[in-house]
Amino acid sequence: MQVSNGLLKDSGVSNWQNPDNNIMVGTKYIDSLLKMFGNNLEKTIAAYNSGEGTVQNLVKKYGDKWKDHLPSETKNYLPKVLSSYYN
């Protein structure tokens, strides 16, 4: 999992190098994103990669066309993750 230092601190975890801690924090974060985005997997994955604020702002500004305005890295990341999920 890739989690920020801030997220680790907020969760009370100090040793990010411990795989159990890292996975625990990462899965809790993904769970919170799923709830935030109404179990929408695309928005959750995009938010995990580019930040929840980015996705929220894009959805607010562009509605159903939000994916067209994602940062390039996230545009490339999203289909890779989704293809591994659906295959």
Domains of the chain by residue range? 1-36, 40-87
Q: Does the pLDDT value for residue 67 go beyond 80?
A: yes
Q: Does the pLDDT value for residue 69 go beyond 90?
A: yes
Mean pLDDT of the chain: 87
Whole-prediction pTM: 0.83
What integer pLDDT is reported at residue 52 of this predicted model?
Answer: 92
What integer pLDDT is reported at residue 9 of this predicted model?
Answer: 66
Q: Does the pLDDT value for residue 70 go beyond 90?
A: yes
Alpha helix ranges (H) inside 12-71: 19-36, 41-50, 52-62
What integer pLDDT is reported at residue 49 of this predicted model?
Answer: 92
Nearest to 43 by CA among 31, 61, 57, 55: 55
pLDDT band at 86 (very low <50, low <70, confident <90, very high): confident
pLDDT band at 22 (very low <50, low <70, confident <90, very high): confident
Can you give the C-alpha Rg of the chain in angstroms?
A: 14
